Amino acid sequence: MVRASFQSDSTASDATLDEKDPSEPYRGHEERDDAGHVTSSNYRFRDSVEFIGQEEEEEQVGLMQLDRRRQRSSQRIPLSSRKPERKLRRLLREHEALIIIIFSSILALPLLVALYAWLVSASHLPIAASTDVIVSPPSGFLPDNKVSISAARKYAASSDDAEGHYGLRQAPGFAFNEAVPGWATPEEADQVLRLAKGTTKKALESQGWTTLKPKSMDVIFNGTLDTVSIDLAWSAEDKDDGVFMRKDPATSDIIFQDVTHARLQMTGQGSVAPGGGQVTFVRGKDVQDKTGKQLAWDTFVVSPDLSHVMFFSDTMRVYRHSRQSNVWIHNVEEKRTWPIGDGPSKPPAIAHAAWIPSTSFSLAYVKDNNLYVALDPDRGEATRITSDGTATIFNAVTDWVYEEEVFESNHALWFSPGGTKLAYLRFDETEVPVYDFPIYNPDPSTAGATTPYLNSIKLKYPKPGFKNPIVSAHLLDLKKLADLTAQSTSINIEVAKYHLKSPLPVSEIADEKKVDEALFAAEDAKDRLVTEVAWLDDDSLFIRETDRGSDHLRGIVFDTAKVGGGQEMVGTVVRRIDAKDKSWVPFGQDIAALGVKDLAAKSTAYLDLIENSQGFKHLAYYPNATSSAPIFLTFGTWEADKLLHADVKRNKAYISAAYPLPHHRHIFAVDLPDIKQGKSALSSFRPHFKDINAAHPEASFDATFDPKGAYYLLREAGPRVPTARVIGVDDASFDWIVEDNAAAVKTSAQYTQAHYVYYNVTLPNGVTTSVKEIRPYDFDASGETRYPVLLNVYGGPDSQQVTHTYSPQEWHQSLVNELGYVVAIVDGRGTGYRGAAYRDGVAKQLGSIEIDDLLATADKIRRLPYVDEKRLGLWGWSYGGYFTNKVLERDSGLITLGISVAPVTKWTFYDSIYTERYMKTLESNQAGYEKSDVHVTDGFKHAHYLLAQGSGDENVHFENSAHLLDLLTAQKVRGFWFRMFTDSAHGISTRGAYRELHEYLTDFLKTKWGAGGKRRFEGKGGRKGLVAEHVQRRGVEEREEEDGGQLGERDWESEAKRIFRQAQDEALVRRLARRGRKGADL
């Protein structure tokens, strides 16, 4: 017998997903974190009669409900053909009184409707939230006259296959891209997943199942569908090719192994390369703390000469990218371990630690916001390089806003490739205002431990119109430090330190002068941003700086070999960009210096990802440090995503490209000029690049490279179950399947799987949006079944939500498979990977054209034959939550439900660097800020609305929700759902909050929309559960009784209600017609 229950005894507190990717790292291998460290790797429903006929608690009867009733009642209930007259007469006699009452009511109904309409008109009552009337349509894509949603002219149906473009062929403006089929039966699962015939059915029968299992919330959250994620920790320190490091999970041993040995060990194929093999580098039992107990460490980093290992323990999260740890040094030969920085401490105090390259085992670390260098950790104490670090002054580590918005890392120090110099940034937050928020329960795992008096988090958080942190760049000459240390135990560290200063305006060329002057305006001189630091060789340092509004950019090169008098160095401007107040200048950590790969080449050539003249981001080559004109190595109407690896030995670079479609990711191999030949190489060089994944256009990939360049790990990231294989660069025959996730494939085959369809929508204004539609496994494109559609959007500048990655654990899977909804993820203007013209239009006007695109896309989607246009909603998180609120603000009448999680509601509440990059400064764009804020209109009354946020959100502060709640109160918006999650940060995961949030959202949808597609409520009186109907539901439930089709009492009651409601509708049509509205508008 099939297991019928979709329920579980588990509660929300039983499952918590962290903010990171829920997939676990492969236990047999390792992955690296942001710092390069190696890490070890029940629902309640109303019954079906109530669903059909009764109004929801927070709705009034209106046009939408009446139209819904008409749609349901327009289908005839099938009658049995056996002796119909006799049975009908008998049943009419039994229900004579009921019929008399019904027809008497029909006669009186027009008077009642007229009276009701007069009362509404006289009292100026607003139209109920459940109406279909478009109250205030945005200009540009809807006619001026108000029209009912139900008046939308549906597109003709198409077959749900390749020939019919999966239901889209006859939909004007819809361009089908690709489909990823799901499955509804074991046989379909075997076919799609290429399993042997009968594999899935046999596995299910062994567990007592005769059909596929439902993909319930429990299944999504409990790890059942998790896959093994591979990320080899390649070793740059070992001289041999293809060497990676891993931790034995049982013993904590550190093992070095090369790929040829690993392939032979795991598959029995191939042979071990010369010098290859496996060695236990450090035994876990030899790494001991001060008490002689084996150290429980989290991550490790090996020294450049392989003589020492740095271990991180007791690691504590601070913000998104920042951590603090106790740090230990282990001497491999002596098997001796000791802490650095006067540790260990509780809580841990070291924010960052790293080996200095090209040295034996010198290191630098940051503690209490001061920088320390230990040239010989075996023999002496570390030298403190800075002494001014405080709670508001940061040396060599980022403050909150630079960590979050610029470097996406907690460290702000960079070693020259030869290990002779160290550049670092200093952040002074003294004048930055403090934002503080309470911590109600200091216990991260136990609910109910709230204290009588609360502690609070005090965070220096710059906002538009307020002071930014003042950033300055500095240099430490490590060679000079070593010489000073060798000469004396008492040294003046200041003689080895230099202040790196930006040059004053120097150019007389008008455009260049404008950029220079913008960076040195009275306020911008202090408010300038440093957005990238990179060494080009052992002496040349590149720093990218912008003004506060990210309108102007300068690239500055410092020749650190030329030290003049004093302790200051002034750089040379080599690149300038003016966004001309219409866009924003590039930001990100994209520079890759080629000379650092081979210092003997003495080259300062480097690679960067920049926009070409057509506005598409591509890989560019700069021949030397002072070059201002790049040579583009890639080109086309697609964009490069990121640079993966540069190999000067083979003259190749590898990039991840948004190709062949923007939501794909393919790896391109790109030819490089030979830096050893200098300028002469450029005369004969011709750009050439190749898609190394061209044989798999339907898939998306990512890759990591052996630093020596001989091998790379290729991961198929989606849309199917991920795989990982190591491929040889020099030896093309080397192909080791590291992980095929065969177990995960067989597990996923046992559960219903949604269909994915990717398409573009061309809007009336010519703009094209991208859509990823997720459909139920038993989807019907014919229009006989109508589905609620929940749109999902993020929509932030340069972002991308329509992706190709495999994501079986996402909440959308539950909505689609259990509730029978369709989820449509939309990317419109402002999002990335489609060129500057598509991206830059949102500058100075967030919440404007991207909202236009979403509403225009929704207007076309609602016309698809299978869409229930009265159940078209939108949800989003963070910027997506802001987006949702701005859509509701428009009061378009298209969107009947909105879910906003952790939204920005007023841009002066968010951080200055992000906000001013896109909105520019508050002083220069006051009107733009006011327009971009969320305004509460009647749109919030005309849609079902839910708002949720964590009270401990350090990113988008809870004041955003508090502000919106205040506005909702002032406008008397009632009946919406609101939930605050105590102490949760932006990811809402504290004390089981992540799952509880998604259960809360699901309950909201069930309450407001009910079941969708071929799902129905099961049972009477609130019995729980959703079951799939494999026949279509038309109006009232069509089911035949066991007595051969005779209508039961419940069916007669339903038919009576249908007749009564039809009369109500007809009377209302007549009434509205007399008031000037067309019946077809209903």
Residues 6+ apart with CB under 8 A from 821: 776, 787, 788, 789, 790, 815, 1005, 1009, 1012, 1013
* Helix and strand totals (H; E) in the chain: 23, 49
Residues 6+ apart with CB under 8 A from 54: 46
Q: Is residue 252 part of a domain?
A: no
Banded model confidence at residue 145, pLDDT cuts 50, 70, 90:
very low
Record the tokens describing residue 244, joined without a space. 């990676």
First CA to last CA distance, the chain: 46
Banded model confidence at residue 614, pLDDT cuts 50, 70, 90:
very high
Mean predicted lDDT score pLDDT of the chain: 84
Give pLDDT, residue 1070. Answer: 53
Give pLDDT, residue 71. Answer: 35
The label of the residue with tokens 């035994």 reads 283
Q: In what order do the strands lie in the sheet with 552-559?
A: 529-535, 540-546, 552-559, 572-578
Record the tokens describing residue 548, joined without a space. 């506060």
Pairing state between β 308-317 and 370-374: unpaired
Q: Is residue 1055 part of a domain?
A: yes
- Nearest in space to 606 (alpha carbons), one of 576, 578, 637, 633: 633
CA–CA gap between residue 616 and residue 103 (Å, rounded): 69
Pairing state between β 639-647 and 631-632: unpaired
Range of the domain at 1072: 63-126+1039-1081
The label of the residue with tokens 């009270």 reads 951
Banded model confidence at residue 645, pLDDT cuts 50, 70, 90:
very high
Banded model confidence at residue 1068, pLDDT cuts 50, 70, 90:
low
CA–CA gap between residue 329 and residue 361 (Å, rounded): 10
The label of the residue with tokens 């004041």 reads 959
Q: How confident is the model over 711-739, as pLDDT tens digits?
A: 999 999 999 999 999 999 999 899 999 99
Burial of 1013 (C-beta count, 10 Å sphere; 0-12/13-18/19+): buried
- DSSP letter string, 1010-1058: ---TTEEE-SSTT---EEE-SS---SS-----TTTS---HHHHHHHHHH
Banded model confidence at residue 108, pLDDT cuts 50, 70, 90:
low
Q: What percent of the chain has pLDDT over 70?
A: 79
The label of the residue with tokens 């809360």 reads 1000
**Alpha carbon separation from 240 to 237, 258, 599, 645 (Å, rounded):** 9, 8, 19, 18
Maximum C-alpha span of the chain? 117
CB 307 within 8 Å of CB 331: yes
Angle between helices 1049-1074 and 63-73 (to 10 degrees): 130
Mean pLDDT lowest among 283-297, 530-544, 552-566, 930-944: 552-566
CA–CA gap between residue 752 and residue 748 (Å, rounded): 8
- Cis geometry, peptide bond prior to residue 274 (ω within 30 degrees of 0): no
Residues 6+ apart with CB under 8 A from 451: 440, 441, 442
Banded model confidence at residue 794, pLDDT cuts 50, 70, 90:
very high
Q: Is residue 319 part of a domain?
A: no
Give pLDDT, residue 104. Answer: 56
CB 95 within 8 Å of CB 101: no
The answer on pLDDT for 17 being more than 50 is: no
Q: Is residue 868 part of a domain?
A: no
Give pLDDT, residue 507. Answer: 79
Region for residue 194 given its phi and psi (left: phi exceeds 0; alpha: psi -120 to 50; beta: otherwise): left
Mean pLDDT lowest among 118-127, 238-247, 1058-1067: 118-127
Q: What is the DSSP letter of 917?
A: H
- Nearest in space to 787 (alpha carbons), one of 778, 798, 795, 796: 778
Q: What percent of the chain has pLDDT over 90?
A: 72
**Alpha helices of 462-509 — where are they, by DSSP H?**
478-487
What are the catalytic residues?
Answer: 878, 953, 986
Record the tokens describing residue 289, joined without a space. 């703390």
The answer on pLDDT for 1081 being more than 50 is: no
Q: Is residue 105 part of a domain?
A: yes
The answer on pLDDT for 62 being more than 60 is: no
**Cβ-count burial 38-58 (b if 16+ within 10 Å, e if not):** bbbbebebbebbbebbeebee
Residues 6+ apart with CB under 8 A from 853: 763, 767, 769, 826, 828, 829
Pick 506 or 649 by higher pLDDT: 649
**Cβ-count burial 682-708 (b if 16+ within 10 Å, e if not):** eeebebebeebbeeeeebbbbbbbbbb
The answer on pLDDT for 160 being more than 80 is: yes
Q: How confident is the model over 973-1022, as pLDDT tens digits?
A: 999 999 999 999 999 999 999 999 999 999 999 999 999 998 886 543 33
Q: Is residue 99 part of a domain?
A: yes
**Alpha helices of 522-589 — where are they, by DSSP H?**
524-527
Residues 6+ apart with CB under 8 A from 130: 55, 56, 59, 60, 61, 62, 63, 64, 65, 896
CA–CA gap between residue 1063 and residue 898 (Å, rounded): 33
Amino acid code (one letter) for 98: L
Give pLDDT, residue 508. Answer: 81
Region for residue 87 given its phi and psi (left: phi exceeds 0; alpha: psi -120 to 50; beta: otherwise): alpha
Name the domain count of the chain: 1
Record the tokens describing residue 131, joined without a space. 């109406």
Give pLDDT, residue 474. Answer: 97
**Mean pLDDT of the region 224-245:** 94
**Mean pLDDT of the region 48-77:** 30
Strands of 403-492, DSSP E: 413-415, 421-428, 434-439, 455-460, 470-477
Partners of 256 in the beta sheet? 245, 279
Q: What is the pTM of this model?
A: 0.82
**Mean pLDDT of the region 382-411:** 96
Banded model confidence at residue 1058, pLDDT cuts 50, 70, 90:
low
CB 466 within 8 Å of CB 912: yes
Give pLDDT, residue 11. Answer: 28
**Alpha carbon separation from 622 to 110, 557, 561 (Å, rounded):** 80, 13, 21
CA–CA gap between residue 1055 and residue 1047 (Å, rounded): 10
Give pLDDT, residue 679. Answer: 81
**Mean pLDDT of the region 493-508:** 89
**Alpha helices of 707-773 — where are they, by DSSP H?**
742-749
Q: How confident is the model over 170-224, as pLDDT tens digits?
A: 999 999 999 999 999 999 999 999 999 999 999 999 999 999 999 999 999 999 9
Give pLDDT, residue 681. Answer: 79
The answer on pLDDT for 599 being more than 50 is: yes
Pick 778 or 1031 by higher pLDDT: 778
Give pLDDT, residue 673. Answer: 95
CA–CA gap between residue 784 and residue 798 (Å, rounded): 39
Give pLDDT, residue 128. Answer: 31
**Mean pLDDT of the region 654-662:** 97
The answer on pLDDT for 1061 being more than 70 is: no
**Mean pLDDT of the region 882-893:** 97
Burial of 962 (C-beta count, 10 Å sphere; 0-12/13-18/19+): middle
Banded model confidence at residue 511, pLDDT cuts 50, 70, 90:
confident
- Cis geometry, peptide bond prior to residue 707 (ω within 30 degrees of 0): no
Residue 198 CA to its chain's centroid (Å): 37
Banded model confidence at residue 102, pLDDT cuts 50, 70, 90:
low
CA–CA gap between residue 429 and residue 468 (Å, rounded): 7
Q: How confident is the model over 237-282, as pLDDT tens digits?
A: 999 999 999 999 999 999 999 999 999 999 999 999 998 999 999 9
The answer on pLDDT for 911 being more than 90 is: yes
Give pLDDT, residue 1048. Answer: 42
- DSSP letter string, 668-705: EEEE---GGGTTHHHHS----EEETTTT-TT-EEEEEE
Record the tokens describing residue 628, joined without a space. 């201002």
Burial of 902 (C-beta count, 10 Å sphere; 0-12/13-18/19+): buried
Give pLDDT, residue 297. Answer: 97
CB 226 within 8 Å of CB 23: yes
- Nearest in space to 821 (alpha carbons), one of 685, 959, 1015: 1015
Q: Is the dihedral of CA 836, 838, 839, 842 positive or negative?
A: positive
- Nearest in space to 651 (alpha carbons), one of 594, 603, 610: 594
Q: Is residue 1000 part of a domain?
A: no
CA–CA gap between residue 822 and residue 906 (Å, rounded): 31
